[in-house]
Structure 1
Amino acid sequence: MSKLLKIELKKINLKSQIISLLAMNCIVLLLSIFTSTLLANPSEGTPTGVAMQLTTSELALLITRAVLIVWQSILIVQIIIEEYKTKTITVLFTYPYSKKQMILAKFLLVFLLTAAFAVFSTVFQEISIYLLSRQLTFVTFMPESLWSVVIVLISNICLGFLPLFIGMRNSSVIATIVSSLVIVVIGSNSQASPSGLLGIPVVSLFLGVVSLILLVITYRSMLVKEI
């Protein structure tokens, strides 16, 4: 499996991914701070409502979760969908590995990369905002339960595989990306919670389990799919 992961990893420009990840985190941090500034000094007629309940750290995590779901869908496109769309996946099937191993290696690579990006982003945002909150009054930090963060993180990664189920219907790149955006819009809905639906551990866990079931269905269909 490790050899397969190395083969798949070579298809990704990891350096550009890391640079993009750093840039994304800086943008999310600045956006969260800027929003906190506006909320701390609301102008007349500016709606506050639920947004006022969000601390800077919660807002940063909300945005980070949304971005990572879309990011994961892009990885899915690069590692899986495009190869099926262009039929270059057939080259892999000539390797001395079973079809099951190759597909599972792709799934595992997407999971590991997204998990690594998610852990880094969460730690980066939490530490940065904590340090800034000690210097800037409008930057607010609220520590979250480690178990809650872990459950939400893993569940969101599982949910991030849902676009694969949709995209593999017709090996569609557009359907994969658009479905991830739809998930972000629905998951970031603040009616149920200021931090969005995806920030609620129970809801996030339920959606993650559903996505895993659909992932298994997708995996089985990929095993019998004619290229």
Structure 2
Amino acid sequence: MLKLIRLEWRKHRFARNLTGSGIAMLSILLFLIMIGVTDLGAEDYAFASYEDSFILIDTFARAVFIIFSGALISKLIISEYRDKTMNVMFTYPIKRHKIIAAKLMLIFLFTFAMIMLTDAVMGVLLLTANHLYDFITEPLSTAVLWKMIVKYIISAFSASAMALIPLFFGMRKHSVTATMVASILLVFVVCSGFNGPTFSVNSIIVIPLTLGAIGLWIAALSMIRLETKDMS
């Protein structure tokens, strides 16, 4: 399986996506700076506490990379079905489900790694900025830090899994557009806040975990259907 993942990495020149991820992270940073500057002094300041700040960072990271994952699904799977290049791959002496599994694992692992990296980098930048400007007055306790690290890991895992949900819509007619629209709608559902960054659908832990399970189920279903509908 690792060989197949490496093959997909080289075939699609996957390292180029690191550049795109870097641009995405820079965009997130600029948005956070804009929020921090324009909202400064407000009663419900977005960076009033470490917990609220970390949640806001994670919300942006999940939103951006769920959509990024949709683009990867479109490129690695949907487009290859649409252009019939997947049929050529299925002539290789490799089981079909392993080919799809390698693609999905690559997308899942990349999305998870990028969300975690973004959370970590933005978190460090937040601590550095607060050390210089002291806009968060509360001390950062070890308990709060570990709590947020655990939340980050769970959030990144569930987001990476639920990011596979658009595969279901894209595979129906091998539509890149349907895949991307589904990714964007998914972001609106799980990343929209009802009370600033402190409460959203993602705050109810059972919802992202359920959506993550659905994403993994869809990934498994796509492999089961290889021999029937998807190849017809």
Fold match by TM threshold 0.5 = yes
- Kindly report the root-mean-square deviation, in angstroms, between the aligned alpha carbons of the 2 structures: 2.4
**Which deviates further from its counterpart, 178-187 or 5-14?**
5-14
**Which deviates further from its counterpart, 127-136 or 70-79?**
127-136
**2:109 matched to which residue of 1?**
112
Give the structure-1-normalised TM-score: 0.87
Q: Does 1:214 align with 2:218?
A: yes
**Which deviates further from its counterpart, 124-133 or 83-92?**
124-133
Tell me how far 1:189 sits from its aligned partner: 2.1
Counterpart selection for 2:86 from 89, 97, 104: 89
Counterpart selection for 1:173 from 176, 179, 183: 176
Q: Does 1:121 align with 2:125?
A: no
Alignment gaps of 5+ in structure 1: 43-47
The percentage of aligned residue pairs carrying the same residue is 26
Paired with 2:170 and 2:133, the residues of 1 have a C-alpha distance of 44
Tell me how far 1:17 sits from its aligned partner: 1.3
Asked if structure 2 preserves the Cα contact closer than 8 Å seen for 1:81 and 1:173, the reply is yes
Asked if structure 1 preserves the Cα contact closer than 8 Å seen for 2:202 and 2:208, the reply is yes
**1:76 matched to which residue of 2?**
73
**Which deviates further from its counterpart, 164-173 or 114-123?**
114-123
**2:231 matched to which residue of 1?**
226
Counterpart selection for 1:153 from 152, 156, 162: 156
Paired with 1:106 and 1:116, the residues of 2 have a C-alpha distance of 15
Paired with 2:47 and 2:129, the residues of 1 have a C-alpha distance of 19
Distance 1:100 1:214, change over 3 A: closer
Asked if structure 2 preserves the Cα contact closer than 8 Å seen for 1:61 and 1:125, the reply is no
**1:188 matched to which residue of 2?**
191
Show the 5 A alignment for 1:39-54.
39-42=39-42
Tell me how far 1:63 sits from its aligned partner: 0.9
Distance 1:99 1:15, change over 3 A: closer
**2:61 matched to which residue of 1?**
64
Paired with 1:114 and 1:128, the residues of 2 have a C-alpha distance of 21
Alignment gaps of 5+ in structure 2: none
Query: How many residues of Structure 1 are paired with residues of Structure 2 in the alignment?
Result: 222
Distance 1:177 1:76, change over 3 A: same
Secondary structure (helix, strand or coil) at the match of 1:10 reads helix
Tell me how far 1:146 sits from its aligned partner: 2.5
